Amino acid sequence: MSVEKLAMANSILEGFVDRESKLLAPYATKSYESLGRKHAEPDSPFRSPFQRDRDRILHSSAYRRLSGKMQVFTGEMGDYHRTRLTHTQEVASIARTIGRATRLNEDLIEALALCHDIGHPPYGHAGEDALSECMVDIGGFSHNQFGLTIVEEIEIRYPDFPGLNLSLEVLEGQARRVDKSGTGPRPALEVQLVDAADSMTYDAHDTDDALKLRLVDLDELENLGLIRNCLKYVDSQHAGLDSGMRRKALVHRLLDLQVVDLLDTLGKSLDQRQFQSVDDVRASEFLIEPSSELGEMKRELESFLYQNVYRHEKLIAMRSEAQSRIQELYAKYVADPSLFPEKYLPRAHSIGISRMAGEYIAGMTDRFFEQTFERITGNQIRG
Ligand code: MG
């Protein structure tokens, strides 16, 4: 049977409309109420619009490159810790779990989660800070803004339009990451949830990676309320675990505690507020947040991670080397635009050489950056 016949026979398109209206809560974003795409396209016969968005992001080259971009720790430091890609997958997984339990739109959640870090430059936040400094005269650099530019302009995968032509709800969700000032209408709950899941995920996995890499030890971490709380639970369930198993159990508990707390807090708020539509959410002051106790413990953990992990001497050394390399390569491209691959010249012409240099570097994986740096500057990075 052809795909068209299959779709017709099973009324699949009506099936997802029917499924969403039955399964999703009144406050969830329905794909059949989507504002559509900038360039009109017929619907897929067997995928909802947000499923299609998710697939478009998944098949983009910027998404694949996330596997070669560091999250917090570089590739040379080992192969246990998260990359930008595995972080993204963890965010999608946690956000979908909470989204399903609260009857939000999982397809939209997944599309937003896969997109959320797609604009990250090489070397994580160190790379972002360096680019932003290079580009200070032209408005700086933001990975969230660049993520939007990638999906709207840079990915060329379709003959009829630039970018991925994502649903306006996905674009709006990414745009809300650019402006987190909190002014204007509230974002849809799916957008808020991905933001919350991002924080839950990195608090847990950065703790795990930092312990595994021995940048911190459990004794230091035990001074923090959240870690103490989780270890108390772990030890009450399993006495005498070896340190590796205890670390794994701790991280498991860290995630579980955050998910359960959010479900509890969010569930109570949703009961209380009785949102009847996405418009009700937008018009409210509501924000998805952990309980105030957990929020405080998370802040304590985050400030510890900032001081002792993100600013650990090993990372500080990497950070300053990466930043000076980015500045050096950026200056080379700005001084001599003929160094850009030829296919980038039309875009360089339209957005300007300086922004093109920033975008080109931001699109690179860590390894491709290093190879390009060595080739263009003639400086060897290692021995
Ligand atoms: Mg993230």
Distance 159 CA to ligand 1 centre (A): 31
Distance 194 CA to ligand 1 centre (A): 9
Q: Where are the domains of the chain?
A: 48-377
pLDDT digit string, tens, across residues 100-148: 999 999 999 999 999 999 999 999 999 999 999 999 999 999 999 999 9
Token output for 59: 């098949």
pLDDT confidence band for 11 (50 / 70 / 90):
low
Distance 187 CA to ligand 1 centre (A): 18
Q: In residues, how long is the chain?
A: 383
Distance 32 CA to ligand 1 centre (A): 28
Instruction: Return the pLDDT at 19.
Output: 86
Distance 101 CA to ligand 1 centre (A): 22
Distance 339 CA to ligand 1 centre (A): 32
CATH top-level class of 48-377: mainly alpha
Instruction: From residue 163, give the alpha-carbon distance in Å to each of 37, 174, 279, 349, 381.
Output: 11, 14, 28, 18, 34
Cβ atoms of residues 113 and 197 within 8 Å: yes
pLDDT digit string, tens, across residues 321-359: 999 999 999 999 999 999 999 999 999 999 999 999 999
Instruction: Return the pLDDT at 75.
Output: 81
What is the C-alpha separation between 372 and 123, in angstroms, rounded?
Answer: 14
Distance 276 CA to ligand 1 centre (A): 30
Distance 253 CA to ligand 1 centre (A): 20
Distance 88 CA to ligand 1 centre (A): 6
Distance 205 CA to ligand 1 centre (A): 11
Distance 198 CA to ligand 1 centre (A): 5
Distance 178 CA to ligand 1 centre (A): 13
Across all residues in the chain, what is the average pLDDT?
93
Cβ atoms of residues 362 and 119 within 8 Å: yes
Dihedral sign, Cα of residue 199, residue 203, residue 208, residue 214: positive
pLDDT confidence band for 6 (50 / 70 / 90):
low
